[in-house]
Amino acid sequence: MKPLIFLDFDGVLFDSVPEVYRVCLEVARNFSDDYAPVSFDEFTQFRSYLTDAWQFNRLFSRSLKITDFKSLEGIDAIEADWVFTHRFFEARKRLMKDEAWAEFMKPYEFFSEIKPLLVNNDNDFLIISTRNEESIRRTMTYNGVYGLRVFGQNAVRKHGSKLQVLEDLGFLRRENYMIYVDDMSAHLVPFYDKINLCIQAQWGYDKNAKSAYSQQQVASIIKSFYS
């Protein structure tokens, strides 16, 4: 059966932590009255609890900083969070003008393993992510993958969730064996009764469940459809 494979971006195809950290530091540097820099170690710990870019404000903000990262689950965004979000994407846009920007996005071994399939069977794959589309496309192009369908931050905000994007655009009605790979367990839960196979990436940013798969295991599952 022909597969249709949905891939998260951050924490599945690329390790984006260095790039995101760099953008946040740029915001903190430009608006030092509002934000204070944090260490890379603290930032990495925080990343495991993140589901949306606005939440970085709660790490860098001088007035709204939190220390209990788990408390993010009960926090709704306020105006100050959206101000940070706007500044974040403006800072990323400036940094992306540097031709070497994409070098901060480190491809995982998993990406390298399935890259030939992404290139030669691009209609079987799509990227669904909360990251902005432009940075995803720029990174994929830099790494030699062109034309892959990408649904990012704008699509998720318009439709309400990753699942809703795929449902509204008709991808879940196709006669395919559907696989979704994401490192964040919270993103996988809504898909459990909607598609054939949900896979948590063991190598990403979330705390790994016992059922999470390694890079080699996930690559082997996907390759098995083409052998």
Q: Residue 199 has what pLDDT?
A: 96
Whole-number pLDDT of residue 184? 87
| pLDDT per residue as tens, the chain (227 positions) | 789 999 999 999 999 999 999 999 999 999 999 999 999 999 988 887 877 889 999 999 999 998 888 778 778 899 999 999 999 999 999 999 998 899 999 999 999 999 999 999 999 999 999 999 999 999 999 999 998 999 999 999 999 999 999 999 999 987 889 999 999 888 899 999 999 999 999 998 877 677 899 999 999 999 999 98
Question: Which CATH topology does 3-15+106-226 take?
Answer: Rossmann fold (3.40.50)
| Residue 19 pLDDT | 93
pTM of the full structure: 0.88
Domain range annotation of the chain:
3-15+106-226, 17-101
The whole-number pLDDT of residue 208 equals 66
d(C-alpha 199, C-alpha 214), whole Å: 10
What integer pLDDT is reported at residue 13 of this predicted model?
98
